[in-house]
Structure 1
Amino acid sequence: MEFETLLMDLLRKGIAFIPNLIVALVVFVATLLLAEWAARSTHRAVKRQSADSETMLLLSRIARWTVLIIGTVVALQQVRFDVTGFVAGLGLLGFTIGFALQDISRNFVAGILLLVRQPFGVGDAVEVAGHAGSVLDINVRDTVLKTWDGEKVILPNMDVFANPIINYTELPLRRRTIRLGLGYGEDVNRAKRLFMETIRGVEGVATEPVPELLVEELGDSALTLVLRFWIDQSKHALFGVHSAVVQAIKEVAEREEIDLPYPTQTVRVEGFLPGEPS
């Protein structure tokens, strides 16, 4: 009699458990499908950012396992499984791994944020963390630059993310400033006119914004002129145009006999010179 009662009790519990089991199975199957969709969607989204294959694979796996873990926890809850210990264990494991690999973790998170924000792309000319050059590669752990001197620099993404970033490619117009001394005996207006005509004729100097030549100060040996002009570095070499402007100014000064004096000092000696009678 007791056996029959126990059997009936188990049967009732089993029948009552079936709906929960079905729901749990449905949730788990849906989790598998959703995890696959999340992985593919992440792969496509990261691929549009021109990321490398390693980055795409890593982020796809993270998306898949994140969905799988959440879905598994939800499915276990449907069958009245106590997931408190399971979740606590995952949290402790994550904390331990994160603490042990905190530098790697920070660079990884910074890499993801850089991929999302996109402050620069591969091939862009940038300056970051004291290094300037073109971007060769962007990974989830580091960013690779080729400096103007031809050196390969690997920067941890945390350093890139935590420092100001100058993207020269995004705004290609760059202003250059040249200071030159003009002799006090020269006609300032004439010199400015000749210099401006010369500058406008140099290939690569932008017409907008308009170049300007101003008198900055009265120096010890000359008037100090300040020349400011702009270069579209997406079309012209920055340093090449700068060099051409300097050379053109020197040539027109020599041709028009405009005095660009060297810094000089006048020494005034009072009293008697050595050897002279007092």
Structure 2
Amino acid sequence: MSTGVNAAVERIQNIGRDLMAALPNVAIGLVVVLIFWFAARVVRTLIQRIWATRGYERDLALLFGRLASAALTVLGVLVALTIIFPSVTPASLFSLLGVGGVAIGFAFRDILQNLLAGILILLTRPFRIGDQIIVSGSEGTVEDIQVRATLIRTYDNRQVVIPNADLFTNTVTVNTAYDKRRLQYDVGIGYGDDIDMAKQVILETLQGVTSIRTDPVPEVLVVDLAESSVNLRVRWWIDPPLRKDALDTQDEVLHKLKEALLAHGIDLPFPTRQVLLHDQTETTDGDRARQREGWPRGQGDVPGARWIPRRSDKERVDKEQP
């Protein structure tokens, strides 16, 4: 019993002496890590400033600055490990990285996929920071394109974090990709109204909206002969193509169109429905002089209508026949 205790105490003492002997190396390793971390921050800032002065894209500067910072930080950790553990050589570290890279690739497959997608997004630039996009049911302004995900601020001031892999593989609508944008709205007029007059009134009204571009010119097209109205599609262009400007312009256009059309006696009909209750099993079906519902009461039968007896009626007719 005493022999085992003495061996355990001796082992603990050896570990303590080894730790005390390694403290200088640990301190030096921590200092090296701090130096490399500070250098990584400086390099990231320099890369961003250099790219900004040369007119490159801000999002690309952020990407390469982050990659350079991460590479220097990892290098500092590896150097610190060789200092703390003298038995660890650069060759053993690189072999460890080779074997561990495969394991890390399988364990962090989604993270690496998002990383690669983020790099491709920043290189191909389908959208930029500040653009307004729609993706997977979310719509808002791109605030940041990070290595793993893209941050979007919605119009009601909420943040949506979208993985870069989803952005790279799914359909993305960029509302601000071009310097101007076309808006449209369908206006229904009555069947008894003059279509040419309605078009003229609409175009004259659009001329009074200052936020609408004159090139391309607004246009009005007949798009549908609906159940209760003739639908005219009003189309106009705005600049810039931001959502706020689109909503403000549409609000002004619809307000003025309603007042102008009504002032010129042009009807804005609403849908109407007529419901007829028609029991097709009655013996009087198709006979306008006898039927109770469905068709207006009148003289004569409905053209093409005929009486199809029910089973009970057929049985009654068969019994009455001699």
TM-score, shorter chain, exceeding 0.5: yes
- Change in CA separation of 1:226 and 1:200 when aligned onto 2, cut-off 3 Å: same
Distance 1:254 1:40 in 2: 62
Instruction: State the Cα distance separating 1:265 from its structure 2 match.
Output: 2.9
Instruction: State the Cα distance separating 1:59 from its structure 2 match.
Output: 0.8
Of 245, 257, 270, the residue aligned with 1:237 is 245
Distance 1:241 1:134 in 2: 20
Of 182, 195, 209, the residue aligned with 1:202 is 209
- Equivalent residues of 2:142, 2:150 under 8 A apart: yes
Distance 2:263 2:189 in 1: 15
- What residue in structure 1 maps to residue 176 of structure 2? 169
- Change in CA separation of 1:226 and 1:51 when aligned onto 2, cut-off 3 Å: closer
Query: TM (normalized to structure 2)?
Result: 0.59
Give runs of aligned pairs for residues 21-170 of structure 1, distance below 5 A.
43-44=47-48, 48-51=56-59, 55-61=63-69, 90-170=97-177
- Change in CA separation of 1:217 and 1:121 when aligned onto 2, cut-off 3 Å: closer
Q: For each residue in 1:63-99, what CA deviation from the matched residue of structure 2 results, as whole angstroms up to 9, or x when unmatched?
A: 66999xxxxxxxxxxxxxxx8x987654322111111
- Change in CA separation of 1:193 and 1:60 when aligned onto 2, cut-off 3 Å: same
Equivalences, count:
223
- What residue in structure 2 maps to residue 265 of structure 1? 273
Q: Unpaired runs of 5+ in structure 2?
A: 1-39, 76-90, 278-287, 298-322
Amino-acid identity (%): 35
- Change in CA separation of 1:246 and 1:41 when aligned onto 2, cut-off 3 Å: closer
SS at match of 1:237: helix
- What residue in structure 2 maps to residue 252 of structure 1? 260
Instruction: State the Cα distance separating 1:171 from its structure 2 match.
Output: 0.7
Structure having the higher Rg: 2
RMSD: 3.5
SS at match of 2:202: helix
- Equivalent residues of 1:220, 1:265 under 8 A apart: no
- What residue in structure 1 maps to residue 188 of structure 2? 181
Q: Unpaired runs of 5+ in structure 1?
A: 1-35, 68-82
- Change in CA separation of 1:180 and 1:65 when aligned onto 2, cut-off 3 Å: same
- Change in CA separation of 1:117 and 1:54 when aligned onto 2, cut-off 3 Å: closer
Query: TM (normalized to structure 1)?
Result: 0.68
Q: For each residue in 1:47-68, what CA deviation from the matched residue of structure 2 results, as whole angstroms up to 9, or x when unmatched?
A: 644249985554114666999x
Instruction: State the Cα distance separating 1:219 from its structure 2 match.
Output: 1.6
